[in-house]
Amino acid sequence: MLKSGRRAATGKCYPDQQMASEHWYNASSKNNKSPLVARLLGCQIENQMTLINSTLTRFTYNRRFATALLILCLSALASCASSPSQVVWLDVRTDAEFAEDHIEGSAHIPHEEIALRIADLGLDKDAEINVYCRSGKRAGIALATLQELGYTNAKNVGGIGDARELRD
């Protein structure tokens, strides 16, 4: 732990050196997430590189802190990169058709109810969604509704047979 008034190798005194050191100590040793750690673990890669750069630039005078922060940042980025984006398979056939036959693990919302119930799945607007029905017609209707709602990565994969082939 640095004490206030300690000078860095350059001979300059950095008044927030103690604060920076205490911030890292509190975030790492007490197992509670600081705002910085919580932001890094949020897996928003487009913002993380900017955050890493600005944070490291600000705290480079404290080598131990900067090294630990760099390791934390790299592990957060690696966990984001190593977790594949989950593909959602959405069956838009009727309840009776779904009960008769369905692909295991697929979400089910009849195409007439898609606008009302898609939010129940808790998906991001850029989540990869593969929509299917019996022949592809209702999947097309559901796809148009999803696109109107702002889902940008949804596609009609056709009928249930087509979906099975693509999924396997």
| Block mean pLDDT (10 aa), the chain, length 168 | 42 41 41 44 56 62 68 68 72 96 95 95 94 96 97 96 92
Q: Do 151 and 93 belong together in one domain?
A: yes
| Residues 6+ away with beta carbon under 8 Å from 26 | 32, 34
Tell me if 134 is assigned to some domain: yes
Shared domain for 114 and 78, answered yes or no, is no
Which one of 82, 107, 131 terminates a domain? Answer: 82
Q: Say whether both 140 and 126 belong to one domain.
A: yes
Q: Is residue 3 part of a domain?
A: no
Residue 130 sits in which domain range? 87-167
158 plus 103 within the same structural domain: yes
Q: Tell me, yes or no, whether 74 and 146 share the same domain.
A: no
Structure tokens at 45: 């890669």
Distance CA 89, CA 157 (A): 10
At residue 71, the pLDDT reads 77
What pLDDT score was predicted for residue 5? Answer: 43
Question: Is the domain of 92 the same as that of 154?
Answer: yes
Which one of 82, 99, 121 terminates a domain? Answer: 82
pLDDT reported for residue 86? 83
Report the catalytic residues: 133
**Residue 120 forms part of a structural domain:** yes
The pLDDT of residue 72: 73
Would you put residue 11 in left (φ > 0), alpha (ψ -120 to 50) or beta?
Answer: left
Question: Are residues 37 and 73 located together in one domain of the fold?
Answer: yes
79/160 Cα distance (integer angstroms)? 33
Same domain, 96 and 126: yes
Instruction: Establish if 33 belongs to a structural domain.
Output: yes
Q: 1 in a domain, yes or no?
A: no
**CATH label of the domain that carries residue 127:** 3.40.250.10
Q: How many domains does the chain have?
A: 2
Whether residue 154 lies inside any domain: the answer is yes
Asked whether residue 10 is domain-assigned, the answer is: no
